[in-house]
Chains A and B, each alone.
Chain A
């Protein structure tokens, strides 16, 4: 890729983002650029501000300082729903599905979004059928019982997939996954990783917050390391763990 190409491809730019809670500095002057089609991993020890960063980008928290640009537009201080409408989807670290609803009905919520309505020509139509399509895409067997089971009773692996399906249903361009891999078995991981790889190959941009470094490094194009709220490293996966400050941050905390 040439330099010029990179510039036109810029999708997200964070500049000097800072956020503190009372005395705790959760995010300190974080800046990074993200290009279309990239898979960015964000890692860091517990409490290093990863989730806070996600909340800042998606509008759930207002930054104390700094600026966020998405596709050249300044979105700092926008409400979460406005940000979602322009194509940024996220998952939550604490997954809380709509427990009483059947799995496929969980997707009605994103499908009801004004974004989806606008993208599909201004009408909602039969959402149930569309919902089942998306579930199939993330590996729910079509017309199987899991599709109809209350989401509260789904196994962990399916819950994570359901979260992914929500991002798909929203037809987001930038997808932010907050610790999607946590708590998954190797087998479950093996079935989810291809879905993410497929997303990237389709041109979506993905940010993955992860503690499962091995799995992340296999698929990430680039990794940003946070410690005490600041970026201490930013580079390609194969080199990132070699940096002394990263080793120190991780060894120091474990």
Chain B
């Protein structure tokens, strides 16, 4: 009996060991160079071309892309956060307080919020690292929502009013290019980091933490470092947005900052960072376009989230990558 089957063949240029490959023609060079260069060029040009409304959309897309990458990084070490809003909110409040109350200038308070925010989140969550499984998810889900209630109830840091009158960025180009550069930097830095020896050890912790411990590596210390790195990225986003809106308040801990990054990373494809990036650039503009349907947006994200995690766990990016790197053709096979 004859049957048709899809055959996949690697394109000639892709060497599987991904260390060495030789480029033989200009075309092949393009083939290798286009994927990493395309997002760079697009992101560098967009702020110049977009009308101001869509420029804001670009800014928030980049923020969510960053949050998604920081989420993805944690997942790569085996920590599933349900509360990137914690990192975001802590960064936002530190920036707001140090700018408005301590009077620090914007170019100082953002770095402070980034590093201090990352450190605070790492310290808060480190005790959970000794436990496996869902504890981390539970605690990260609870903490930001709880902090939100506490700010509301206690009136700390401006309570429900929040803190307003925070220094804005000098102009919209500074704003856009800061976040664009940060996003691109994070994208390439994360992608690089996970291929280093250090990144390899982090990934190994996720796969088999006992094997890693048995060679003398303190996995808790490594995980705390990963938390710090991820926390810094999240806190930077919070600090940045605080200055964009000139305001910080309870919404900084809102569930949106936890869900949308998660959906972006899952839809785009976990473990690649490019997937998180792609996912954010699909979902955030989409949600802007769909503003008409209002509250249904979150339903839609969540639906995507569940659908992808169950049916297409590898995400869009892997799919595109496969199409790009392999020929596909139907072949007849004997059965």
Contacts and interface: CB of A to CB of B under 8 A. Distances in A.
Q: Do chains A and B touch in the complex (CB under 8 A)?
A: yes
Interface of A: 58, 60, 79-82, 84-85, 89-90, 92, 96, 98-102, 105, 108-115, 124, 127, 148, 166, 169-170
A81 B213 contact: yes
B217 A58 contact: no
What is the interface of chain B mostly: helix, strand, loop, or mixed? helix
B214 A112 contact: no
Interface stretch (B107-115, B150-158, B174-182, B203-211): B203-211
Nearest to A100: B207
Contact of B218 (A81, A89, A105): A81
A109 B17 contact: no
Nearest to A163: B211
A70 to B, nearest CB: 14
Nearest to A101: B200
CB-based closest 9 A-B pairs: A84-B216, A110-B215, A113-B216, A85-B216, A80-B213, A113-B215, A115-B216, A81-B218, A81-B213
B219 interface: yes
A81 B216 contact: yes
25 contacts: A60-B210, A60-B214, A80-B214, A81-B213, A82-B216, A84-B216, A85-B216, A89-B215, A90-B214, A92-B214, A98-B203, A98-B204, A98-B211, A99-B207, A101-B200, A101-B204, A105-B200, A108-B200, A109-B200, A109-B201, A109-B211, A112-B198, A112-B217, A114-B217, A148-B17
Given A81-B218, A114-B217, A96 B208 contact: yes
A92 B216 contact: no
A58 B210 CA distance: 11
Contacts of A92: 210-211, 214
Interface of B: 17, 197-198, 200-201, 203-204, 207-208, 210-219
Contacts of B215: 81, 84, 89, 109-110, 112-113, 115, 166, 169-170
Most buried by A among B204, B214, B217: B214
Nearest to B205: A109
